[in-house]
Amino acid sequence: MNKVQVMGTGSYVPPKVVTNNDLSCIVDTSDEWISSRTGIKERRISEGENTSDMASKAALKAIENAGIKAEDIDLIIVGTATPDSFFPSTACIVQSNIKAVNATCFDISAACSGFIYGLDVATQFIRTGSSKTVLVIGAETLSKIINWEDRNTCVLFGDGASAAILKSSDVEGILSIYRGSDGSKGKALVSYAIPVKNPYVSKEFLDKQLDVAIKMDGREVFKFAVKIITQGVEKLLEDANCSLEDIKYIVPHQANCRIIESAAKRLGVSEEKFYLNLSRFGNTSAASVGIALDDMVQQNLLQRGDKILLIGFGGGLTYGGLIIEW
Protein backbone atom coordinates (compact mmCIF):
# COMPACT_ATOMS: atom_id res chain seq x y z
CA MET A 1 0.00 0.00 0.00
CA ASN A 2 1.16 3.56 -0.66
CA LYS A 3 2.07 5.92 2.14
CA VAL A 4 0.31 9.24 2.72
CA GLN A 5 1.51 12.63 3.89
CA VAL A 6 -0.19 15.94 4.61
CA MET A 7 1.71 18.37 2.38
CA GLY A 8 -0.12 21.67 2.89
CA THR A 9 -2.96 23.44 4.68
CA GLY A 10 -5.07 26.52 4.09
CA SER A 11 -8.09 28.27 5.56
CA TYR A 12 -10.42 31.17 4.95
CA VAL A 13 -12.88 32.93 7.24
CA PRO A 14 -15.18 35.81 6.24
CA PRO A 15 -13.97 39.25 7.32
CA LYS A 16 -17.03 40.17 9.41
CA VAL A 17 -16.39 39.66 13.13
CA VAL A 18 -19.45 39.23 15.34
CA THR A 19 -18.59 39.48 19.04
CA ASN A 20 -20.63 38.18 21.98
CA ASN A 21 -21.57 41.79 22.72
CA ASP A 22 -22.84 42.21 19.14
CA LEU A 23 -25.04 39.15 19.65
CA SER A 24 -26.41 40.50 22.92
CA CYS A 25 -27.99 43.26 20.80
CA ILE A 26 -30.05 40.77 18.80
CA VAL A 27 -30.83 38.04 21.35
CA ASP A 28 -31.10 37.90 25.12
CA THR A 29 -27.57 36.81 25.97
CA SER A 30 -24.30 38.21 27.31
CA ASP A 31 -20.56 37.93 26.82
CA GLU A 32 -20.29 36.40 30.30
CA TRP A 33 -22.92 33.74 29.60
CA ILE A 34 -21.43 32.73 26.25
CA SER A 35 -17.79 32.81 27.34
CA SER A 36 -18.30 30.82 30.52
CA ARG A 37 -20.43 28.14 28.91
CA THR A 38 -18.53 27.76 25.66
CA GLY A 39 -15.24 29.64 25.58
CA ILE A 40 -16.36 31.53 22.45
CA LYS A 41 -15.69 35.29 22.33
CA GLU A 42 -16.31 36.05 18.66
CA ARG A 43 -17.10 34.36 15.38
CA ARG A 44 -16.97 35.20 11.64
CA ILE A 45 -20.23 35.53 9.74
CA SER A 46 -20.64 35.68 5.97
CA GLU A 47 -22.13 38.80 4.46
CA GLY A 48 -23.02 36.92 1.30
CA GLU A 49 -20.15 34.51 0.58
CA ASN A 50 -21.44 30.99 0.24
CA THR A 51 -19.77 27.69 1.12
CA SER A 52 -18.12 27.18 -2.26
CA ASP A 53 -16.63 30.70 -2.19
CA MET A 54 -14.95 30.09 1.13
CA ALA A 55 -13.98 26.53 0.18
CA SER A 56 -12.29 27.76 -3.01
CA LYS A 57 -10.31 30.43 -1.15
CA ALA A 58 -9.12 27.92 1.45
CA ALA A 59 -8.22 25.48 -1.33
CA LEU A 60 -6.04 28.01 -3.14
CA LYS A 61 -4.13 28.71 0.07
CA ALA A 62 -3.55 24.99 0.65
CA ILE A 63 -2.38 24.51 -2.93
CA GLU A 64 0.12 27.32 -2.53
CA ASN A 65 1.24 26.01 0.89
CA ALA A 66 1.81 22.54 -0.60
CA GLY A 67 3.73 23.92 -3.57
CA ILE A 68 1.55 22.15 -6.14
CA LYS A 69 -0.62 23.22 -9.07
CA ALA A 70 -4.42 22.82 -9.26
CA GLU A 71 -4.09 20.49 -12.24
CA ASP A 72 -2.01 18.08 -10.09
CA ILE A 73 -5.09 17.31 -7.98
CA ASP A 74 -6.88 14.09 -8.91
CA LEU A 75 -9.53 14.08 -6.16
CA ILE A 76 -11.45 16.83 -4.37
CA ILE A 77 -13.54 15.95 -1.31
CA VAL A 78 -15.58 18.60 0.49
CA GLY A 79 -17.06 17.86 3.91
CA THR A 80 -20.05 20.16 4.35
CA ALA A 81 -23.60 20.21 5.72
CA THR A 82 -24.34 23.60 4.14
CA PRO A 83 -23.58 23.29 0.43
CA ASP A 84 -24.52 26.05 -2.04
CA SER A 85 -26.59 23.47 -3.89
CA PHE A 86 -27.45 19.79 -3.76
CA PHE A 87 -25.99 19.67 -7.24
CA PRO A 88 -23.53 20.64 -8.47
CA SER A 89 -21.65 19.57 -5.34
CA THR A 90 -19.48 22.10 -3.55
CA ALA A 91 -16.48 20.04 -4.68
CA CYS A 92 -17.48 20.44 -8.34
CA ILE A 93 -17.94 24.18 -7.93
CA VAL A 94 -14.51 24.42 -6.30
CA GLN A 95 -13.08 22.40 -9.18
CA SER A 96 -14.46 24.91 -11.63
CA ASN A 97 -13.28 27.90 -9.58
CA ILE A 98 -9.72 26.70 -9.12
CA LYS A 99 -9.46 24.90 -12.49
CA ALA A 100 -8.52 21.50 -11.04
CA VAL A 101 -9.26 19.96 -14.44
CA ASN A 102 -8.00 16.47 -13.60
CA ALA A 103 -9.98 15.92 -10.42
CA THR A 104 -12.94 13.71 -9.53
CA CYS A 105 -15.09 15.67 -7.10
CA PHE A 106 -17.72 14.90 -4.47
CA ASP A 107 -19.07 16.20 -1.18
CA ILE A 108 -19.42 14.10 1.92
CA SER A 109 -22.08 14.69 4.52
CA ALA A 110 -20.84 14.00 8.03
CA ALA A 111 -21.61 17.29 9.77
CA CYS A 112 -18.80 18.32 12.12
CA SER A 113 -16.84 15.13 11.34
CA GLY A 114 -16.74 16.05 7.63
CA PHE A 115 -13.10 17.10 7.42
CA ILE A 116 -11.89 14.12 9.44
CA TYR A 117 -13.93 11.70 7.30
CA GLY A 118 -12.51 13.53 4.25
CA LEU A 119 -8.92 12.95 5.41
CA ASP A 120 -9.82 9.31 6.05
CA VAL A 121 -11.33 8.79 2.59
CA ALA A 122 -8.40 10.61 0.94
CA THR A 123 -6.00 8.31 2.78
CA GLN A 124 -7.79 5.21 1.53
CA PHE A 125 -7.77 6.45 -2.09
CA ILE A 126 -4.04 7.18 -1.91
CA ARG A 127 -3.14 3.95 -0.11
CA THR A 128 -4.88 1.87 -2.76
CA GLY A 129 -3.19 3.76 -5.56
CA SER A 130 -6.44 5.27 -6.86
CA SER A 131 -5.21 8.81 -6.24
CA LYS A 132 -1.91 10.60 -5.80
CA THR A 133 -2.85 14.15 -4.81
CA VAL A 134 -6.04 14.86 -2.90
CA LEU A 135 -7.59 18.16 -1.86
CA VAL A 136 -9.70 17.76 1.28
CA ILE A 137 -11.89 20.66 2.35
CA GLY A 138 -14.15 21.32 5.34
CA ALA A 139 -16.43 24.29 4.67
CA GLU A 140 -19.61 25.65 6.24
CA THR A 141 -21.91 28.65 6.09
CA LEU A 142 -23.71 27.75 9.31
CA SER A 143 -25.20 31.25 9.50
CA LYS A 144 -27.63 30.03 6.79
CA ILE A 145 -29.12 27.33 9.04
CA ILE A 146 -29.08 28.98 12.45
CA ASN A 147 -32.28 30.15 14.13
CA TRP A 148 -31.07 33.66 14.96
CA GLU A 149 -33.84 34.01 17.55
CA ASP A 150 -32.75 30.94 19.53
CA ARG A 151 -30.16 32.19 22.03
CA ASN A 152 -29.19 28.62 22.90
CA THR A 153 -27.83 27.85 19.45
CA CYS A 154 -27.16 31.09 17.54
CA VAL A 155 -24.24 31.96 19.82
CA LEU A 156 -22.36 28.73 19.13
CA PHE A 157 -21.66 28.72 15.41
CA GLY A 158 -19.55 30.55 12.84
CA ASP A 159 -18.71 30.43 9.12
CA GLY A 160 -15.44 29.37 7.52
CA ALA A 161 -13.49 26.90 5.44
CA SER A 162 -10.26 24.93 5.66
CA ALA A 163 -8.31 22.71 3.31
CA ALA A 164 -5.46 20.22 3.26
CA ILE A 165 -3.47 18.58 0.50
CA LEU A 166 -2.64 14.90 0.97
CA LYS A 167 -0.12 13.20 -1.29
CA SER A 168 1.27 9.77 -1.91
CA SER A 169 4.70 9.70 -0.29
CA ASP A 170 7.70 7.60 0.82
CA VAL A 171 7.04 8.47 4.40
CA GLU A 172 3.95 7.36 6.33
CA GLY A 173 2.27 10.42 7.77
CA ILE A 174 -1.02 8.82 8.84
CA LEU A 175 -0.22 6.61 11.84
CA SER A 176 -3.73 5.56 12.86
CA ILE A 177 -7.35 6.22 12.01
CA TYR A 178 -10.49 6.05 14.14
CA ARG A 179 -14.01 6.17 12.70
CA GLY A 180 -17.60 5.34 13.54
CA SER A 181 -21.21 6.42 13.50
CA ASP A 182 -24.28 6.00 15.66
CA GLY A 183 -27.36 6.72 13.60
CA SER A 184 -29.63 5.62 16.45
CA LYS A 185 -28.85 8.93 18.17
CA GLY A 186 -29.30 10.97 15.01
CA LYS A 187 -32.16 13.05 16.41
CA ALA A 188 -29.82 14.64 18.98
CA LEU A 189 -28.43 17.07 16.39
CA VAL A 190 -30.40 17.87 13.27
CA SER A 191 -30.89 20.25 10.40
CA TYR A 192 -33.76 19.10 8.20
CA ALA A 193 -33.50 19.50 4.44
CA ILE A 194 -36.36 19.93 1.98
CA PRO A 195 -39.68 18.51 3.25
CA VAL A 196 -41.69 16.23 0.97
CA LYS A 197 -43.95 18.60 -0.95
CA ASN A 198 -45.76 17.78 -4.16
CA PRO A 199 -49.34 17.86 -5.49
CA TYR A 200 -50.18 14.61 -3.61
CA VAL A 201 -49.03 15.60 -0.11
CA SER A 202 -51.71 16.76 2.37
CA LYS A 203 -51.69 20.18 4.01
CA GLU A 204 -51.79 18.50 7.44
CA PHE A 205 -48.61 16.64 6.60
CA LEU A 206 -46.89 19.82 5.39
CA ASP A 207 -47.85 21.81 8.49
CA LYS A 208 -46.03 19.26 10.64
CA GLN A 209 -42.72 19.56 8.80
CA LEU A 210 -39.81 21.22 10.62
CA ASP A 211 -37.54 23.86 9.17
CA VAL A 212 -33.82 23.79 8.42
CA ALA A 213 -32.67 25.53 11.62
CA ILE A 214 -30.20 23.52 13.73
CA LYS A 215 -31.88 21.74 16.62
CA MET A 216 -29.74 20.17 19.32
CA ASP A 217 -30.19 18.11 22.49
CA GLY A 218 -27.29 19.78 24.30
CA ARG A 219 -26.92 17.20 27.01
CA GLU A 220 -26.87 14.18 24.68
CA VAL A 221 -24.39 15.86 22.36
CA PHE A 222 -22.16 16.88 25.29
CA LYS A 223 -22.20 13.34 26.70
CA PHE A 224 -21.44 11.85 23.29
CA ALA A 225 -18.60 14.28 22.59
CA VAL A 226 -16.82 13.66 25.88
CA LYS A 227 -17.12 9.89 25.43
CA ILE A 228 -15.82 10.02 21.86
CA ILE A 229 -12.81 12.15 22.69
CA THR A 230 -11.87 9.83 25.54
CA GLN A 231 -12.40 6.60 23.59
CA GLY A 232 -11.00 7.98 20.37
CA VAL A 233 -7.76 9.20 21.89
CA GLU A 234 -7.20 5.86 23.63
CA LYS A 235 -7.90 3.84 20.47
CA LEU A 236 -5.79 6.06 18.22
CA LEU A 237 -2.81 5.87 20.59
CA GLU A 238 -3.13 2.09 20.89
CA ASP A 239 -3.29 1.59 17.12
CA ALA A 240 -0.34 3.90 16.50
CA ASN A 241 1.65 2.39 19.36
CA CYS A 242 2.11 5.82 20.93
CA SER A 243 1.51 7.35 24.31
CA LEU A 244 0.01 10.74 25.11
CA GLU A 245 3.52 12.02 25.82
CA ASP A 246 4.43 11.39 22.15
CA ILE A 247 1.59 13.62 20.97
CA LYS A 248 2.47 17.29 20.67
CA TYR A 249 -1.12 18.53 20.32
CA ILE A 250 -4.60 17.11 20.34
CA VAL A 251 -6.65 19.07 17.79
CA PRO A 252 -10.32 18.48 18.58
CA HIS A 253 -13.40 19.63 16.77
CA GLN A 254 -13.78 23.17 18.13
CA ALA A 255 -17.26 22.92 19.62
CA ASN A 256 -17.10 24.00 23.23
CA CYS A 257 -14.27 24.41 25.74
CA ARG A 258 -16.32 22.74 28.50
CA ILE A 259 -16.37 19.51 26.46
CA ILE A 260 -12.57 19.69 26.23
CA GLU A 261 -12.30 20.38 29.96
CA SER A 262 -14.36 17.31 30.75
CA ALA A 263 -12.47 15.08 28.30
CA ALA A 264 -9.06 16.30 29.50
CA LYS A 265 -10.00 15.42 33.05
CA ARG A 266 -11.02 11.90 32.03
CA LEU A 267 -7.86 11.36 30.01
CA GLY A 268 -5.73 12.64 32.88
CA VAL A 269 -4.09 15.18 30.61
CA SER A 270 -3.69 18.95 30.86
CA GLU A 271 -6.10 21.11 28.83
CA GLU A 272 -2.96 22.77 27.40
CA LYS A 273 -2.45 19.63 25.30
CA PHE A 274 -5.54 20.57 23.29
CA TYR A 275 -5.08 23.22 20.61
CA LEU A 276 -8.11 25.51 20.77
CA ASN A 277 -9.01 28.57 18.74
CA LEU A 278 -12.77 28.47 19.18
CA SER A 279 -12.63 31.73 21.12
CA ARG A 280 -12.08 33.47 17.77
CA PHE A 281 -14.19 31.39 15.39
CA GLY A 282 -16.87 29.54 17.37
CA ASN A 283 -18.00 26.16 16.10
CA THR A 284 -17.50 26.07 12.32
CA SER A 285 -18.61 22.44 12.03
CA ALA A 286 -16.66 20.61 9.29
CA ALA A 287 -14.27 23.54 8.89
CA SER A 288 -13.18 23.67 12.52
CA VAL A 289 -10.43 21.05 12.76
CA GLY A 290 -8.80 22.28 9.53
CA ILE A 291 -9.00 25.94 10.62
CA ALA A 292 -7.26 24.98 13.87
CA LEU A 293 -4.64 22.98 11.95
CA ASP A 294 -3.91 25.81 9.52
CA ASP A 295 -3.77 28.23 12.44
CA MET A 296 -1.04 26.07 13.99
CA VAL A 297 0.85 25.94 10.69
CA GLN A 298 0.64 29.73 10.29
CA GLN A 299 2.09 30.15 13.79
CA ASN A 300 4.92 27.68 13.06
CA LEU A 301 3.82 25.45 15.91
CA LEU A 302 4.52 22.24 14.01
CA GLN A 303 7.91 20.84 13.04
CA ARG A 304 8.58 17.82 10.82
CA GLY A 305 8.27 14.70 12.95
CA ASP A 306 5.74 16.15 15.42
CA LYS A 307 2.77 13.90 16.05
CA ILE A 308 -0.69 15.44 16.31
CA LEU A 309 -4.00 13.79 17.07
CA LEU A 310 -7.12 15.08 15.34
CA ILE A 311 -10.50 14.11 16.76
CA GLY A 312 -13.96 15.09 15.56
CA PHE A 313 -17.59 14.33 16.36
CA GLY A 314 -20.87 15.63 15.05
CA GLY A 315 -24.35 15.23 13.69
CA GLY A 316 -25.21 11.76 12.48
CA LEU A 317 -24.01 11.01 15.00
CA THR A 318 -20.58 10.70 13.43
CA TYR A 319 -17.08 10.58 14.82
CA GLY A 320 -13.51 10.00 13.76
CA GLY A 321 -9.89 10.84 14.29
CA LEU A 322 -6.35 10.46 13.02
CA ILE A 323 -2.81 10.58 14.35
CA ILE A 324 -0.69 12.49 11.85
CA GLU A 325 3.08 12.64 11.81
CA TRP A 326 3.89 16.05 10.40
Annotate each residue in 104-123 with x if it binds other proteins (CB under 8 A) or - if it does not, as one string.
--------------------
Whole-number Å distance between alpha carbons of 19 and 224: 28
Whole-number Å distance between alpha carbons of 90 and 137: 10
**Least distance (Å) from other proteins to the CB of residue 271?**
14
Q: How many other CB atoms are found less than 10 A from the CB of residue 77?
A: 29
**Least distance (Å) from other proteins to the CB of residue 42?**
20
- State which of residues 132, 179, 218, 235 lies at the interface with other proteins (CB under 8 A): 218
241 sits in the region (left: phi over 0; alpha: psi -120 to 50; else beta) called left
- Contact call for residue 185 and other proteins (CB under 8 A): no
The piece of 9-17, 165-173, 196-204, 215-223 that touches other proteins (CB under 8 A) is: 215-223
**Least distance (Å) from other proteins to the CB of residue 20?**
16
Asked if 93 and 52 touch (Cβ cutoff 8 Å), the reply is yes
Residues whose CB is less than 8 angstroms from the CB of residue 94 and which lie 6 or more positions away in sequence, other chains included: 52, 55, 56, 59, 76, 78, 100, 105, 135, 137
Number of residues that bind other proteins (CB under 8 A): 10
Going by C-alpha positions, the residue among 73, 46, 49, 69 that lies closest to residue 136 is 73
**Least distance (Å) from other proteins to the CB of residue 282?**
16
Going by C-alpha positions, the residue among 96, 166, 168, 181 that lies closest to residue 135 is 166
Nearer to other proteins, 106 or 222 (CB): 222
Nearer to other proteins, 175 or 214 (CB): 214
Nearer to other proteins, 203 or 219 (CB): 219
Going by C-alpha positions, the residue among 271, 273, 280, 322 that lies closest to residue 113 is 322
Whole-number Å distance between alpha carbons of 250 and 326: 13
Asked if 118 and 9 touch (Cβ cutoff 8 Å), the reply is no
Query: 253 catalytic, yes or no?
Result: yes
- State which of residues 63, 226, 317, 323 lies at the interface with other proteins (CB under 8 A): 226
Query: 147 catalytic, yes or no?
Result: no
Q: Which of 92, 105, 112, 154 is catalytic?
A: 112
- Contact call for residue 223 and other proteins (CB under 8 A): yes
**Least distance (Å) from other proteins to the CB of residue 30?**
13
- Contact call for residue 258 and other proteins (CB under 8 A): yes
Going by C-alpha positions, the residue among 101, 56, 102 that lies closest to residue 78 is 56
204 sits in the region (left: phi over 0; alpha: psi -120 to 50; else beta) called alpha
Report 28-67 residues binding other proteins (CB under 8 A): 36-37
- Contact call for residue 215 and other proteins (CB under 8 A): no
Nearer to other proteins, 223 or 273 (CB): 223
Q: Which of 20, 154, 253, 257 is catalytic?
A: 253
Asked if 191 and 315 touch (Cβ cutoff 8 Å), the reply is yes
**Least distance (Å) from other proteins to the CB of residue 142?**
21
Q: Which residues bind other proteins (CB under 8 A)?
A: 36-37, 218-219, 222-223, 226, 256, 258, 262
Catalytic residues: 112, 253, 283
